[in-house]
Amino acid sequence: MDALLTFSIPLLFSSLVWSGYLEYDQDVLIPEDWTRVGRVDPAEELELTFALKQQNVNLLEETLRWVSDPDSAQYGKYLTLEEVASLVRPSELTHKVVRHWLHSHGITNCLTVRTEDFLQCTMTAEVAEKLLPGSRFNRYIRDGQSIVRSSAPYSVHDDVHWHLDFVGGLHRLPPKGQDLRKEQKPSKEGIHLGVTPVILRTRYNLTAADVGTAQNNSQAVAQFLEQYYHPADLAEFMSLFGGSFQHLSQVDRVVGTQGGGKAGIEASLDIEYIMSTGANVSTWVFTNPGRHESQEPFLQWMLLLSNMSDLPWVHTISYGDDEDSLSTAYMMRINTEFMKAGVRGISLLFASGDSGAGCRHFGKEQNSFRPSFPASSPYVTTVGGTSFKNPYKVTYEVTDYISGGGFSNVFKMPDYQVSAVEGYLKTVAAKLPPQSYYNVSGRAYPDMAALSDNYWVVINRVPVPWVSGTSASTPVVGGMLSLVNDHRLLKGLPTLGFLNPRLYKLKGQALFDVTEGCHLGCLDEQVQGQGFCAAPSWDPVTGWGTPNYPALLAALLSE
């Protein structure tokens, strides 16, 4: 079932006495590329999302650890959506308090999800500003896109605060999409002039026989930021580049509404490369333009995951924000949503970003690296990027200087990667950036990588070269994991689910280690534009390296 569940808020609640207020999202930063048009009309309708406090989050995390650890007796014993709901469903008191609070402001038009931990309610801007004191809703525009957000922090009654993680639709503005084009000069003598499905299949040792055959297998990409793919582009891409292997030329299911207008490079890249690497596997597209200007497309996708009992097994997402632009409460709750997917046997892959280690400027003497979320989440598999050593031949790989990576400032390092990261820090101790630039005890990423440089994409019926970014490498890895799932399902084994605990136990087995090159960092006197560098085994630029598909299949096919 795709649609959110409707409910009416009962009137028969005992009265509650509201005391103080607690402020959320104290720092509201409006990116410079968004222009404020003015205050919205008080009668304008908004749609806000209320994230209700869940129960048993610690038990959910434990369950994820058990079902994802190949050495656990519970490995692969995933939960259904109904079982997840019974585990995390908010308490009766939480529902009672939140619904009474909403009803006391005349808000009755709400939807929920099957796990009952989100409410999505419509109300006027005037009502929203009374419900959430401090909020001031304005309209902002960028590149023809219009959204409504609050320019000021909001607060909620103290009594309600204990029952809410956050309210969505107020502050988070979509980040600007990366420019995925790199200008390059073609070689007259090169063996190839850019990355295509055939080049990828050659480098990662996939044969013509490495295509999906299982009926119960599926994979998905999620599109945000007004990004859409065109079916005609996908068909054209496969006719040009898919002749040497069996493949599908159309998406099996679109969840959401495809926008009109021109196709986006990122959306086209995602769908064309997950379907050519995970060839012949049923593929879905989640498209989330947002029905209201106050909607957050990423949050809408998360709600869908909590509302659909049958979902594809692998999802790849090329989307991210700077950690410091998001509230900790928001990121912690999104992490819980990732755990909910993992315990169901779903693999979530996120691009590591295209800004290297990133840089946050505090002044001439106070720069630090800038980690990205969800790439920094401990509960997703994060994919970095590489380039061919010789960009015109199928050679070994080196780092792509844009490959996102580093250490979270919010999430502690998960147990599954402690040994790997400690090994890296010890190996390259003399070459590390100053420790003031990063949190050495934070979740380190990426986990693995693939080629991210110099791709061909068909967009608006035209083949376009020199497209680059971890938006390319992520669906490539996702497609290969879908092929592994295909073999597991045919053998009656559970899907891979949350891959990281198993991936780190392989200790680089079945992957091509990337040991050359560094990525971008702060352009200052101390680090001079350099972040971290690749090294033998795991590193925070390319993770464990890139897939050697036959070896990876063999390693992941055991029970």
Question: Would you name the residues annotated as active-site residues?
Answer: 266, 270, 471
Number of neighbouring beta carbons within 10 Å of residue 225: 18
Tokens of 399: 């780092």
Contact 314, 278 (CB under 8 A): yes
Q: CA 41, CA 135: separation in Å to the nearest integer?
A: 14
Q: Which residues pair with 52 in a beta bridge?
A: 164
Half-sphere exposure of 255 (CA within 13 A, CB side): 26
Pairing of strands 372-373, 314-317: unpaired
Tokens of 284: 């879905």
Q: Which residues pair with 457 in a beta bridge?
A: 464
Tokens of 532: 């971290």
Nearest to 301 by CA among 344, 256, 264: 256
DSSP-assigned states of every residue in 100-148: HHHHTTT---EEE-TTS-EEEEEEEHHHHHHHSTT--EEEEEETTEEEE
Nearest to 24 by CA among 213, 206, 161: 161
Nearest to 168 by CA among 79, 342, 62, 298: 298
Q: Calculate the dihedral angle through the C-alpha atoms of 349, 291, 91, 79, rounding to the nearest 10 degrees.
A: -30
The per-residue b/e assignment along 70-106, b for 16 or more CB within 10 angstroms, e otherwise, is eeeeebbebbebeebbebbbbeeebbbbbbbbbbeee
Q: Which residues pair with 388 in a beta bridge?
A: 397
Q: Which residues pair with 406 in a beta bridge?
A: 445
Which DSSP category does 341 fall into? H
Length of the chain in terms of residues written: 559
Number of neighbouring beta carbons within 10 Å of residue 320: 24
Measured CA angle at 557 (ends 487, 87), to 5 deg:
90
The per-residue b/e assignment along 383-413, b for 16 or more CB within 10 angstroms, e otherwise, is bbbbbbeebbeeeebbbbbbbbbbbbbbbeb
Pairing of strands 546-547, 530-533: unpaired
